Chains A and B, each alone.
Chain A
Amino acid sequence: MIEYFVRRLLQSVLVLFFITVLTFLLIHAAPGGPRQIYLSPGLSQEAMAVQAHNLGLDRPLPLQFVSWIGDLLKGDLGYTFKNHIPVGEIIWPTIGHTMVLMGSAWLLSLLIAIPWGIYNSTVEYSLSDQTASFVAYLGFAMPTFWFGIILQELFALKWNLLPLSDMWTMGSEGNIGNLIYHLVLPVSVLTLGFLAGYSKYSRSSMLEVLDRDYIRTARAKGLNERRVIFRHGLRNALIPIITLLGLDLPILVAGAALTESVFNWPGMGRLFVQNAVSREYSVLMAVTLITAVFVIAGNLLADILYALVDPRVRLDRKGGSAT
């Protein structure tokens, strides 16, 4: 178990390292290279050379990479090009905002999707089941931002029930009621998206378990159906669901760039999009790295959880995950 854990951890660190390499190379592959990105345009050749030297851009690539990594490890994410604000100062608050939005959507969708999926597995092809698969199809095929726009038009403009966008009304920042009022629309958009995957997944996971021999044994023993489903079925069906949740944890941070842009939510996704349009590379790189860290941590957590709840994994995989 410990060997598995350590090996998995080392793998994650390796992947993280490659991501930093990838991001670094991407910036350096940009037309004009980092000089054009970091230096103010319209400088004379000499001034540019001096500034490049000051920023260390005339050093060989590997050396630059090492110093960049060193800065990162010290928690220094760099400065924005336009106003020279530390990037960290811009990013950290947006993470919180994204977490509020995504966390509530995520919880809500889990609370609906898992019981619904499990119920549907016991009443296959019923009306409820078919509704669920209809919702799933819709959730997979609908552009989320379009759904958001339509909701805005109906609830905010036509019926004037809910706020159009933003996180707070001007002047009532920090008011929980006001926040919830603003959360309703984006959360419903996101929930539909999550619902599609989760209800389908929990249904199929439960179905798979219900086909097992031990369920048949439980029934043969004469246990009542409720006990079979909840005691014997659900416990085992939850294992893959828990793993999926671990894998999806990073969503809480990475968030929905689209939904945030539609509803003008001051989260990390919208920050990313805005800075992509204005080509603020230091912010883009920092956000990419932060999300990557969260994704990798989520994957690691999912694997560890899986190994903890399901002893077969430890024995099967003997360390390195095969996939």
Chain B
Amino acid sequence: MSEAKIALQEKPVIEKFKRPPGVWSVGWKRFSANRFALVGLIVLIVFVLSAIFAKWIAPYDPSRIDMMFPNLPAGTGNHLLGTDELGRDIFSRLLYSSQVSLLVGFTVAIASVIIGTLIGAISGYFGGFIDTCFMRLVDVMNSIPLLFLNILILAIFGSKFYYMILVLSFTGWMSVARLVRGTFLSLREMQYVEAAKAIGVSDWGIIFRHLLRNASAPIIVNATLMVGGAILSESALSYLGLGVQIPQTSWGLMLSNAQEFMLVDPVQAVYPGFCILIVVLAVNFIGDGLRDVLDPRQKAMMSARRLDRWRKKFSKSGI
């Protein structure tokens, strides 16, 4: 059998010179090998698309009150998921809410990653007094439970939509700052930094061109995971009545509404929470998938016991 194969192959098969797979395709291969990450990505894309096209998908205006038909069960007429206590179409409201949640999630994650990266980079690269100041600031911010801090600021300044985004970004950067600082502390001792300094690259040039690129992997992973956190915070704040305000809708707001009318229509509470759960799960899965792709350390640190088992199963030489 195998000889036949060889014989076949002996015919002039001049293999074309194949380019080695690029970074992106290797990355994609690793990412898509993780089934959870792939499913997460698909789910997230579905949610993002439906949020973008909510205007066209939604069968009704989400804030249109129709007191003739309140509390319709799912599947009545054109109301896919029924209506709430004011006769508003739940499916349309869910769609429009996804706009708010995703917008908040991504904006907050990006903004706090930018803030955190800047502070962490400066503090890790320059060290000394600046570092001490920033790290004490991080300590101070970390000493107030985040939810409390968010509530406090929103209570003082009033709850506007963009305030909420600002507040969440300004209270979410600490973990990124610590992470970036830690990475920079070790990276700045690298030889290429010394080399760059020797040829006269400015400090900022080194930070942005050399160090940041080398530190980007954990930052990206962290940013992805922060999207989920931000969505959860938004829903919590809206649930408590300090986030998104009434003519607008959000999943958290729908939940607090649903709790109020729990006795009348208990199913209402299921949908928005389920949406939050699914989106956050999807984002977290993507984050974990990205970590597999981007973080080479994670690969190297395969546990010795797992390696042992692998060896027992597959290794022929017994090494």
Pick from A43-51, A144-152, A223-231 the stretch touching chain B: A144-152
B258 with A137: CB separation less than 8 A: no
Q: Does A262 contact B (CB under 8 A)?
A: yes
Residues of B within 8 A of A152 (CB): 259, 262
Within 8 A of A (CB), among B248-271: 252, 255, 258-259, 262-263, 266, 269-270
C-beta contact mask, B21-55 vs A, less than 8 Å → 1, else 0? 00000000000000000000000000000000000
A30 x B156 contact (CB < 8 A): yes
Which residue on A lies nearest to B282, using beta carbons?
A: A141
Q: When the two chains form their complex, are residues B151 and A257 in contact, meaning their CB atoms are under 8 A apart?
A: yes
Q: How far is the CA of A299 from the CA of B306 in the complex (A)?
A: 34
B152 and A288 within 8 A (CB): yes
A157 an interface residue at 8 Å Cβ cutoff? yes
Partner among B232, B255, B306 whose Cβ is within 8 Å of the Cβ of A149: B255
Question: Residue A258 at the B interface, CB < 8 A?
Answer: yes
C-alpha spacing A271/B304, complex, angstroms: 50
Asked if residues A276 and B255 are in contact (CB atoms below 8 Å), the reply is no
Contact B152 A284 (CB under 8 A): yes
* A210 with B269, Cβ < 8 A, contacts A257-B147, A276-B242 known: no
Q: A15-B139, A211-B304 are in contact. Are A272 and B148 (CB under 8 A)?
A: yes
Would B139 and A149 count as touching, CB distance under 8 A? no
B235 interface hit (Cβ, 8 Å): yes
**Known: A26-B153, A124-B305. Contact between A291 and B148, CB under 8 A?**
yes
Which label, helix, strand, loop or mixed, suits the secondary structure of the B interface?
A: helix
Q: Which of B195-240 contact A (CB under 8 A)?
A: 228, 232, 235-236, 239-240
Nearest CB of chain A from residue B200's CB, rounded to whole Å: 31
Name the residue of chain A whose CB is nearest to the CB of B266.
A153
Q: Is the pair B266, A143 in contact by a Cβ cutoff of 8 Å?
A: no
Complex contact B273–A146 (CB within 8 A):
yes
Our pick among A15, A149, A281 for the contact of B262 (Cβ within 8 Å) is A149
Can you pick out 18 interface pairs between chain A and chain B where the beta carbons lie within 8 Å of each other?
A: A18-B140, A31-B158, A124-B303, A137-B284, A137-B285, A142-B276, A143-B236, A145-B236, A149-B273, A157-B262, A157-B266, A158-B266, A207-B305, A272-B151, A276-B155, A288-B148, A296-B143, A299-B143
Q: What are the nearest 7 A-B pairs in CB distance?
A: A146-B273, A276-B155, A141-B280, A141-B281, A30-B156, A254-B145, A18-B140
